[in-house]
Amino acid sequence: MGRMDGKVVFITGAARGQGRAHAVRVAAEGGDVVAVDLCADIASTPYPMATRDDLDETARLVKERGGRVVAQVADVRDRAALAAAVAEGIAQFGRLDGVVAQAGICPLGTTAPQAFIDAVGVDFGGVFNAVDVALPHLLSGASIVATGSLAALIPGTLDSAAKGSGGLGYAWAKRAVASLVHDLAVVLAAQSIRVNAVHPTNVNTDMLNNDVMYRAFRPDLAEPTLEDVLPSFPAMTATGDPYVEPEDIADAVLFLLSDESRFITGTQLRVDAGGYVKLRPQAPAF
Ligand SMILES: NC(=O)c1ccc[n+]([C@@H]2O[C@H](COP(=O)([O-])OP(=O)(O)OC[C@H]3O[C@@H](n4cnc5c(N)ncnc54)[C@H](O)[C@@H]3O)[C@@H](O)[C@H]2O)c1
């Protein structure tokens, strides 16, 4: 028996990284997946997005674990395209039990206003759109999981002029995701639909492993390498680990999707190796 037997989950940004890990984990636990990804680059974002081949590989991995999959190219900023993907999932699988709204970009290293617009459009607008198109199909007992970021919870991490307009947009969007989850949990509680956020620290994916992110951790170097940044990465954890793996986030997401968390809603679940408690110590009691 799997923890997702008979359930269908819609996952945005599923071609690689955390999204792929969530898709594979859902399938391994007996569920089916509706997977979407942009599979194209975004001009303001100075590292490559996933490709159609990446999305096909996610589909292959889902099937390898016994899951069924609908995999479609769609931009989370395009509500009609997302609705079409969900409609195809409903046509093939007949139901929808979960949403993982987690497609994201982090366009650091630029002061272009468009980077702010794109970060907000994808990282907040994309979450809102995914919820919007899924909601008419979600059954009682369904679970929505949105991916925020430790950066959303720690002022001064990305929301500074030094991180550029894209960093400000990213932080704004992720704070807005946390706020949306809080209030949407109230709105949907009467329908027994749960809404929770997962806030990762550094995750070992392409969003972390690119030149602009490396420069954010080592602004003193023009072209820092992985070797240069590894000693700086633990700034975002308390354990001293440089990052967590996508599968560590998938463990938390699977729990929130499954009935094991059936009375958990409105939660801001940090998967951050203690980063939050290190960076935001308690205020003095007196
Ligand atoms: N990697 C980290 O260190 C880290 C830390 C905290 C939070 N996060 C968040 O985790 C989530 C997943 O990121 P990841 O680490 O797997 O990075 P990633 O770059 O590997 O994956 C992001 C995926 O989203 C897709 N995508 C981007 N824009 C899209 C759009 N408009 N429409 C559809 N798909 C789109 C990309 O093609 C890619 O497949 C993001 O929301 C990110 O902000 C990541």
What confidence score (pLDDT) does residue 286 get? Answer: 80
3-state secondary structure of 266: coil
Q: To 10 degrees, what angle do helices 164-189 and 126-134 make?
A: 30
Residue 236 C-alpha from the chain's centroid: 17
* pLDDT of 160 higher than 90: no
HSE (side-chain half, CA atoms, 13 Å) at 113: 0
CA of 161 to the centre of ligand 1 (A): 22
Cα distances (Å, whole numbers) of residue 70 to 10, 14, 247: 9, 11, 21
Q: Could you tell me the CATH number of the domain that includes residue 100?
A: 3.40.50.720
CA of 219 to the centre of ligand 1 (A): 23
- 279 in a structural domain: no
- 186 in a structural domain: yes
- 265, two tokens: 């809603």
- 190 in a structural domain: yes
Percent of the chain with pLDDT over 90: 92
**Percent helix / strand / coil, the chain, rounded to 5:** 45, 15, 40
Question: How big is the CA angle at 25 (ends 102 and 128), to the nearest 5 degrees?
Answer: 20
Number of domains in the chain: 1
42-66 tens-digit pLDDT: 999 999 999 999 999 999 999 999 9
Give residues (CB < 6 A) around ligand 1. Answer: 12-13, 15-19, 37-38, 49-50, 75-77, 102-106, 122, 126, 147, 149, 200, 202-203, 205-208
238-269 tens-digit pLDDT: 999 999 999 999 999 999 999 999 999 999 99
Structural domain of residue 265, as residue ranges? 8-271
| Mean pLDDT of the region 135-148 | 97
- 77, two tokens: 């900023």
The verdict on whether 170 is a catalytic residue reads: yes
- 185 in a structural domain: yes
The letter for the amino acid at 29 is E
Q: Which atom in ligand 1 lies closest to the alpha carbon of residue 106?
A: 43
Q: Which atom in ligand 1 lies closest to the alpha carbon of residue 42?
A: 28
CA of 190 to the centre of ligand 1 (A): 31
pTM equals 0.98
- 237 in a structural domain: yes
- 278 in a structural domain: no
